[in-house]
């Protein structure tokens, strides 16, 4: 059956209900440019989404050398043909007229001017060489993205760690997913998603902790909606201060005060233990640390948590009842936990919940520590963030030696005297002056990092040489010394891996504009110009294109948890996504779930990390880990609640929390250039609850300043059902499309939520806190009746719909969908 | 006054001064954000330890009450934070930070040894109350030690290898 839907107005499309234990029915979504009929498409080119961490498989429609639309891949395990709004419309940004088409360098007058590649690369190479001679490798840092491909991250990791020899390499995945990785390392000794998206098909209870799935991973939410519409639907638990779409579907909704997740989770664990919902056999066979946890949460009654979290004790009991009674429990965790106070400590308590209940390694008993960025998993595997490639342990000399063998360098070449430097520390080193060159690829820290006035000051320093590699002249690129025009998705080939370890191949469909180059080619060019050598004098980087880079990565991954040795471009081409580990002998078809039989990667000899103190972040030493966990079982780690570092005051009486929303993605570089997405959420807004708005004498559409101790944002107000005492700002509205809104020199209000956020991060995962700042709200101007520019379709649904026109996309937003396997 | 009361007094003093040192470091290094925030969290442990010691000390005839308010201190600390922010982009604060972390490590290690002494004495004297206090507070002191150690390890390569 073919039909069409306005997928701005109906973001999750039509339902295809299904029951527990049956496969998710296919539904193929197709969106083609206006006037392009399906039979006018010349080629369909295989790829997957990089606009969120679902990794939805899709085909790019090509005509006359241009991208003219997209279609979901019905055979794929992740999306079964469905696409989310960002997938359906986001591709149009590729063809924007303001793409960078030539390199730029800053000239003598301080202006960025066009040049050729040789000029730009020479400038980078001569600066890098000079710094290496004068100041050593610690003066050079790399800050990459969550949107490049595996081959690119791996090449970058080899080049930075063994070529330059710097410890300063991280991704913006630090903002989005480092807590997921850290929480998995703390509990299982190693990164790697335990569960599978297929667990949605089997679960009887789904608990979403700080995870606004309908907006961050709309296709996975379609799967949940289809279960909810089918026979014997799962019951949902939602933990979120806002009344999100999840909350509206939940059996129990807890809206805790920001920054109190650990207290809430400790109370839930208290109840699980008190009511004896513990799977004793599982705990005895597969874990260490239960007694300590039981002792720690003993005083954490629902009444105790109610006082801290400001939720009714009865609701906590109800939630615990739901979790305790589940037979197949699926939990998912995202930014409400990861970007909040005590991020890792809280995420680890969700792991503990699953260990206590024995909910691991079988269908429906799933644990998904989610990713925010789409290719975040690859930065982690490849060591382009705070890990060594292949989940190797920097504290384990044997692992470093093994990596040195793979790269044919001496172990001393690879910095491993301390953990790889995290992004915020790199910016600190730059601020301090010890880091003098920062190469930023595919990300936009001038909008995405906390406390933007500080970030602008750091990037604007004379002594810091900044290279920015991107598609557009972003807010960050405008501050750079050299700007390199990059090719993007659809214009280059590579692989990437989603949040449940599914690897997809993304093929080049069209040529990049002008002289833009694939990120891989840029890195390879740099490596060649720097003449990086291995220990025998041969070239350090031995590959020359995506497929040979992939083969090199496979050798690096061999024998490690993220083993790719069974994968190849040939296997992925034409087929569907495959979950690692995938090995030729043991798992040729990939691996749906980890920990189906014990927790092998926690063994002291193989684990990726010995863990950290959940409050202080201090590293656990190898000897200590060995005595704590000699056999390598899962570690149950207790954590005490610690009050947030910033607290409300009479001057700043509200908690400020920020978040991603349905129609925009990472600094809107692409989504802001897709007409349907930009029109659906054209501008920043602020949200208050009805009571809070009333107390402030404010109403829908009023223009307000949200003021924190760091800065201010000017936005129109949306009055929406959420908890009192909190103001919400959608993040990542910047300045490229509205330069006049930039904050003035004396600290006038801006447009980007991060003008206000605090520079503070979780001491364990080093993920910055974007959810727990404090603020006040001040009226600037009454509304003339115009409502806030916030969409009505999702979390920002107005409390009183009168006078607020519903968000629609119109004819250009119509998407056809075909249900059934014959979809393609 | 016997050895135990002497130790209680010395320990109380050491915890109070560790708290002060932690808060002082947090103020001086307002632009070293992790140190700034976590040192304040760690100071809370020392404050709690001192309060428990004062409480317990009472039973041994010791008067270890809190001395002095925090009024003028708060003002001074605000001034120091501002100054730290202004200085925060010069290279020298790196060396100052390492120095301060080293001092914190030593101070916390000193506290840890007192707890060790107290726990040993409590066992010999079969004093369950003291032993319970020592075994619940001492692990937190050790975590303070490890925290300083971790930061010294992480920061030294960058701060000590660059040109000064
Ligand atoms: S220390 Fe932890 S377990 Fe104990 S009361 Fe506090 S939060 Fe609960």
* H or E segment and range at residue A175: helix A173-176
Q: Going by DSSP bridges, is the β-strand pair A712-719/A205-209 parallel, antiparallel, or unpaired?
A: unpaired
Contact A322, A292 (CB under 8 A): no
Question: What pLDDT, on a 0 to 100 scale, did the predictor assign at position B133?
Answer: 97
Checking if the pLDDT of A443 tops 90, the result is: yes
Name chain A contacts of B164, Cβ cutoff 8 Å: none
DSSP H/E element including A780? strand A773-781
Residues of A at the B interface, defined by Cβ within 8 angstroms? 134-136, 138-139, 167, 415, 417-419, 421, 424-425, 428-429, 431-434, 613, 615-619, 642, 645, 759-761, 763, 766
Of residues A191, A181, A183, A287, the one with CA closest to residue A629 = A287
Mean pLDDT score, A495-523: 97
Share of chain A above pLDDT 90, in %: 95
pLDDT digits (tens, 9 = 90+) for A39-64: 999 999 999 999 988 999 999 999 99
Output the six-digit token pair for A227: 């279960």
Q: Name the phi and psi angles at B37, rounded to 5.
A: -75, -45
Gap between the Cα atoms of A740 and A714, Å rounded:
12
Q: How many CB atoms sit inside 10 A of residue B121's CB? A: 18
- Residue B65 binned pLDDT confidence (cut-offs 50, 70, 90): confident
Do residues A201 and A214 lie in contact, with contact meaning Cβ atoms separated by under 8 Å?
no
pLDDT(B73) > 90: no
Of A242-256, A731-745, B45-59, the least confident:
A731-745
Q: Do A763 and B38 touch (CB under 8 A)?
A: yes
How far apart, in whole angstroms, are the C-alpha atoms of residue A175 and residue A66? 33
Burial zone of A622 (CB within 10 Å; 0-12 exposed, 13-18 middle, 19+ buried): middle
DSSP assignment of A538-594: SBS----SHHHHHHHHHHHHTTSSS--TT--HHHHTTS--EESP-BTTTBTT--S-S
pLDDT of residue A807: 97
Distance from C-alpha of B32 to C-alpha of B25, rounded to nearest angstrom: 10
Q: Measured between alpha carbons, how far is A484 from A525 in angstroms, rounded to an integer? A: 12
Question: What spacing in Å lies between the alpha carbon of A296 and ligand 1's midpoint?
Answer: 5
Question: Nearest C-alpha of chain B: how many angstroms from A668?
Answer: 28
Of A134, A616, A761, the CB nearest to B143: A616
Spatial contact of A71 and A30, defined as CB atoms under 8 Å apart: yes
Round to whole Å and give the CA distance between A60 and A57.
10
Residue B162: which of A138, A613, A763 has the nearest Cβ?
A138
Look over chain A and give the mean of its residue pLDDT values, rounded to a whole number: 96
Substitution candidate for ligand 1 out of A299, A307, A615, A643 with most atoms within 8 A of CB:
A299
Scanning chain B, the segments in alpha helix (DSSP H) are 3-28, 33-59, 71-87, 92-124, 128-161
| Separation between Cα atoms, residue A253 and residue A236, nearest integer Å | 8
Residue numbers in A near B147 (CB within 8 A): 613, 616-618
What's the pLDDT score for residue A387? 86
The Cα diameter of chain A in Å comes to 73
CB of B43 closer than 8 Å to CB of B23 = yes
A222 DSSP assignment: H
Q: What is the mean pLDDT of residues A305-318?
A: 98
* Separation of alpha carbons A29 and A26, rounded Å: 10
Instruction: Provide, as residue numbers in chain A, all residues whose Cβ is less than 8 Å from the Cβ of B141.
Output: none
**Which residue from A145, A179, A561 is spatially nearest to A333, judged by alpha carbons?**
A179
Smallest CA–CA distance, residue B3 to chain A, in Å, is 32
Pocket test for ligand 1, best of A274, A641, A642 (most atoms within 8 A of CB): A641
Which positions ≥6 away from A321 have C-beta within 8 Å?
A271, A275
- Gap between the Cα atoms of A283 and A353, Å rounded: 11
* CA dihedral of A512, A11, A713, A732, whole degrees rounded to 10: -30
Asked whether the beta carbons of A82 and A70 are under 8 A apart, the reply is no
pTM: 0.95
Q: Which of A435, A441, A552, A567 is nearest to A162 (CA)?
A: A552
| Span from the CA of A263 to the centroid of ligand 1 (angstroms) | 7
Whether the Cβ atoms of residue A699 and residue A777 lie closer than 8 Å to each other: no
Nearest beta carbon to residue B147 from set A167, A419, A618:
A618
Tokens (6 digits) for A667:
């600094």
**Using one digit for the tens of pLDDT, what is the confidence trace for A379-434?**
999 999 888 999 999 999 999 999 999 999 999 999 999 999 999 999 999 999 99
pLDDT value for B85: 59
CA–centroid distance, A305 to ligand 1, in Å, is 10
Distance A493 CA to ligand 1 centre (A): 50
How much is the pLDDT for B86?
A: 57
Residue A605 CA: distances (Å) to CA of A112, A185, A269, A520: 51, 14, 31, 33
Residue B77's nearest CA partner among B19, B16, B27 is B27
In the numeric block, which tokens belong to residue A377?
Answer: 């998993």
Q: Which residue of chain B comes nearest to A620, CA vs CA?
A: B146
Instruction: Answer yes or no: is pLDDT of B87 > 60.
Output: no
Determine whether the interchain pair B41/A417 forms a contact, defined as Cβ–Cβ distance below 8 Å: no
Yes or no: say if A432 and B91 are a contact pair by the CB < 8 Å rule.
yes
Q: Cβ–Cβ of A167/B153 closer than 8 Å?
A: no
**Within 13 Å, how many C-alpha atoms sit on residue A331's CB side?**
30
pLDDT given at position B63: 86
Chain A interface, mutation test: which of B31, B32, B33, most A Cβ atoms within 10 Å? B33
Which residues of A fall within a CB distance of 8 Å from B154?
Answer: 418-419
pLDDT in tens, A778-799: 999 999 999 999 999 999 999 9
- β-strands A814-819, A57-63: how paired? unpaired
How distant is the Cα of B134 from the closest Cα of chain A, in angstroms?
17
d(CA A618, nearest CA chain B) in Å: 5
**What's the rounded Cα separation, in Å, for the pair A69 and A227?**
29
Name residues contacting ligand 1 (CB within 6 A). Answer: A 263, 266, 296-297, 299-300, 640-641
pLDDT at B82: 57
* Cα–Cα nearest to A63, from A85, A45, A87: A45
Strand-pair partners of A2: A818
SS3 at position B29? coil
Question: CA-to-CA distance for A46 and A326, rounded, in angstroms?
Answer: 39
Give residue B69's pLDDT: 41
H/E stretch holding A453 reads helix A452-459
How far is it between the farthest Cα atoms of chain B? 56
Put simply, the answer to whether B41 touches A642 (Cβ < 8 Å) is yes
Length of chain A: 824
Distance from CA of B153 to the nearest CA of A (A): 7
Q: How far is the CA of A592 from the centre of ligand 1 (A)?
A: 36
Distance A302 CA to ligand 1 centre (A): 12
Residue B147, pLDDT > 80, answer: yes
Ligand 1 atom 4: residue of nearest CA = A296
Cα B46 to middle of ligand 1, angstroms: 17
Mutate which of A132, A178, A418 to test chain B, going by most B C-beta atoms within 10 A? A418
pLDDT for A821:
60
**Among the listed residues A322, A345, A347, the one whose alpha carbon sits nearest the alpha carbon of residue A334:** A347
Query: In sequence order, which residues have a C-beta less than 8 Å from that of residue B92 and are 6 or more positions away?
Result: none
The label of the residue with tokens 């953990």 reads A419
A617 and B150 in contact by Cβ < 8 A? Answer: yes
Answer whether A432 sits within 8 Å of B91, measured CB to CB.
yes
How distant is the alpha carbon of residue A362 from its chain centre?
Answer: 26
Banded model confidence at residue B89, pLDDT cuts 50, 70, 90: low
Cβ distance of A618 and B143 shorter than 8 Å:
yes
CA A466 to CA A718: how far, in whole Å?
A: 38
pLDDT of residue B72: 42
pLDDT on residue B2: 86
Q: In angstroms, rounded to a whole number, what is the distance separating the alpha carbons of residues A88 and A11? A: 10
Chain B positions in Cβ-Cβ contact with residue A615 (cut-off 8 Å): 41, 143
* pLDDT band with cut points at 50, 70 and 90 for residue A291: very high
Q: Complex ipTM above 0.95?
A: no
- Asked if A777 and A686 count as a contact pair (C-beta separation under 8 A), the reply is yes
Q: Which residues are A707's β-sheet partners?
A: A712, A776
CA angle A113, A145, A65 (to 5 degrees): 65
Residue numbers in B near A763 (CB within 8 A): 34, 37-38
Question: Which is nearest to A686 in space by CA: A770, A779, A761, A807?
Answer: A779
**Per-residue pLDDT for B95 more than 80?**
yes
Going by CA atoms, what residue is nearest to atom 2 of ligand 1?
A640
pLDDT score, position B71: 41
Given the structure tokens 């990300």, which residue do they identify?
Answer: A443
Helical segments of A230-333, H only: 245-249, 261-274, 280-286, 290-297, 302-309, 313-325
Q: How many CB pairs under 8 A join A and B?
A: 82
First to last CA, chain A: 12
């Amino acid at each position: 059956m073919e039909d069409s839907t306005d997928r701005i107005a109906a973001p999750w499309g039509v339902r295809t209900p299904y029951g527990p234990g049956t496969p998710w029915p296919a539904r193929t979504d197709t969106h083609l440019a206006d006037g392009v009929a399906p039979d006018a498409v010349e080629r369909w080119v295989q790829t997957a989404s990089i606009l969120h961490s679902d990794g939805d498989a899709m085909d790019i429609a090509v005509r006359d050398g241009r991208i003219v639309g997209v279609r979901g891949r019905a055979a794929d395990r992740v999306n079964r043909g469905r696409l989310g709004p960002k997938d359906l419309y986001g591709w149009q940004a590729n063809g924007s007229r303001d793409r960078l088409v030539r390199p730029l360098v800053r000239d003598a007058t301080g202006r960025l001017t066009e040049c050729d590649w040789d000029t730009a690369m020479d400038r980078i190479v001569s600066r890098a060489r000079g710094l290496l001679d004068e100041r050593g490798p610690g003066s050079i840092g790399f800050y990459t993205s969550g949107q490049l491909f595996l081959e690119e991250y791996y090449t970058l990791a080899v080049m930075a760690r063994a070529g330059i020899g710097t410890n300063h390499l991280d991704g913006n995945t630090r903002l989005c997913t480092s807590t997921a990785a850290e929480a998995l390392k703390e509990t299982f000794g190693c990164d790697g998603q335990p569960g599978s998206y297929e667990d949605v098909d089997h679960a009887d209870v789904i608990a979403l902790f700080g995870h606004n799935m309908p907006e961050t991973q709309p296709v996975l939410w379609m799967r949940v909606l289809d279960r909810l519409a089918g026979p014997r639907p799962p019951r949902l638990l939602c933990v979120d201060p806002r009344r999100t779409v999840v909350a509206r579907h939940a059996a129990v909704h807890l809206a805790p005060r920001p920054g109190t997740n650990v207290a809430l989770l400790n109370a839930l664990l208290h109840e699980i233990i008190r009511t004896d919902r513990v799977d004793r056999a599982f705990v005895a066979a597969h874990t260490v640390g239960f007694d300590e946890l039981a002792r720690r949460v003993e005083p954490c009654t629902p009444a105790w948590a109610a006082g801290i979290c400001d939720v009714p004790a009865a609701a906590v009991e109800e939630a615990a009842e739901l979790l305790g009674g589940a037979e197949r429990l699926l939990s998912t965790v995202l930014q409400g936990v990861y970007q909040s106070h005590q991020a890792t400590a809280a995420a680890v308590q969700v792991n503990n919940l699953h260990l206590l209940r024995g909910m691991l390694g079988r269908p429906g008993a799933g644990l998904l520590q989610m990713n925010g960025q789409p290719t975040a998993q690859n930065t982690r595997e490849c060591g382009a963030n705070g890990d060594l490639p292949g989940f190797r342990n920097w504290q384990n000399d044997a692992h470093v030696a093994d990596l040195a063998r793979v790269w044919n360098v001496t172990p001393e070449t690879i910095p491993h005297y301390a953990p790889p430097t995290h992004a915020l520390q790199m910016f600190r080193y730059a601020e301090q002056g010890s880091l003098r060159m920062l190469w930023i690829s595919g990300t936009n820290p001038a909008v995405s990092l906390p406390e933007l006035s500080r970030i602008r000051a750091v990037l604007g320093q004379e002594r810091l040489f900044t290279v920015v590699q991107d598609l557009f002249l972003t807010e960050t690129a405008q501050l750079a010394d050299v700007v390199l025009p990059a090719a993007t998705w659809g214009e280059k080939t590579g692989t990437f891996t989603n949040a449940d370890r599914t690897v997809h191949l993304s093929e080049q469909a069209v040529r990049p504009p002008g002289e833009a180059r694939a990120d891989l080619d840029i890195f390879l060019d740099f490596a060649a110009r720097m003449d990086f050598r291995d220990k025998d004098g041969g070239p350090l980087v031995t590959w020359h294109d995506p497929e040979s880079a992939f083969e090199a990565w496979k050798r690096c991954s061999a024998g490690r948890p993220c083993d790719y040795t069974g994968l190849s471009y040939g296997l992925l081409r034409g087929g569907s996504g495959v979950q690692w580990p995938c090995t030729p002998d043991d798992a040729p078809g990939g691996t749906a779930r980890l920990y189906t039989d014990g927790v092998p990667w926690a063994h002291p000899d193989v684990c990726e990390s010995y863990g950290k103190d959940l409050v202080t972040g201090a590293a656990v030493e190898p000897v200590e880990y060995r005595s704590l966990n000699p056999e390598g079982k899962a570690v149950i780690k207790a954590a005490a609640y610690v009050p947030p570092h910033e607290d409300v005051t009479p001057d700043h009486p509200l908690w400020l929390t920020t978040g991603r929303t349905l129609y925009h993605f990472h600094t809107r570089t692409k989504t802001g250039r897709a007409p349907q997405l930009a029109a659906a959420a054209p501008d920043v807004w602020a949200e208050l609850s009805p009571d809070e708005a009333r107390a402030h004498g404010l109403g829908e559409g009023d223009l307000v300043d949200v003021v924190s101790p760091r800065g201010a944002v000017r936005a129109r107000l949306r009055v929406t059902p959420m908890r009192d005492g909190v103001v919400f700002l959608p993040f990542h509205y910047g300045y490229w499309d509205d330069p006049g809104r930039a904050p003035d020199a004396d600290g006038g209000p801006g447009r980007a939520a991060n003008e206000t956020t605090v520079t503070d991060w979780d001491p364990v995962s080093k993920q910055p806190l974007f959810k727990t700042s404090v603020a006040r709200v001040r009226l600037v101007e009454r509304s003339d009746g115009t409502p806030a520019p916030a969409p009505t379709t999702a979390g920002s649904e107005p409390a009183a719909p009168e006078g607020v026109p519903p968000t629609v996309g119109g004819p250009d937003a119509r998407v056809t969908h075909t249900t059934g396997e014959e979809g393609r | 006054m016997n050895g135990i009361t002497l130790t209680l007094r010395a320990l109380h003093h050491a915890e109070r001064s560790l708290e002060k040192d932690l808060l002082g470091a947090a103020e001086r290094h307002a632009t070293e954000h992790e140190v700034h925030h976590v040192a304040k969290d760690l100071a809370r442990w020392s404050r709690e330890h001192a309060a428990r010691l004062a409480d317990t000390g009472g039973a041994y005839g010791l008067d270890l009450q809190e001395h002095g308010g925090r009024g003028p201190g708060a003002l001074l600390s605000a001034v120091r934070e501002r100054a730290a922010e202004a200085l925060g982009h010069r290279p020298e604060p790196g060396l100052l930070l390492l120095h301060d972390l080293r001092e914190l490590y030593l101070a916390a290690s000193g506290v840890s040894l007192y707890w060790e002494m107290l726990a040993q004495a409590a066992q010999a004297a079969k004093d369950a109350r003291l032993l319970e206090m020592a075994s619940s507070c001492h692990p937190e002191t050790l975590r303070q030690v490890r925290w300083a150690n971790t930061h010294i390890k992480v920061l030294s390569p960058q701060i000590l290898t660059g040109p000064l």
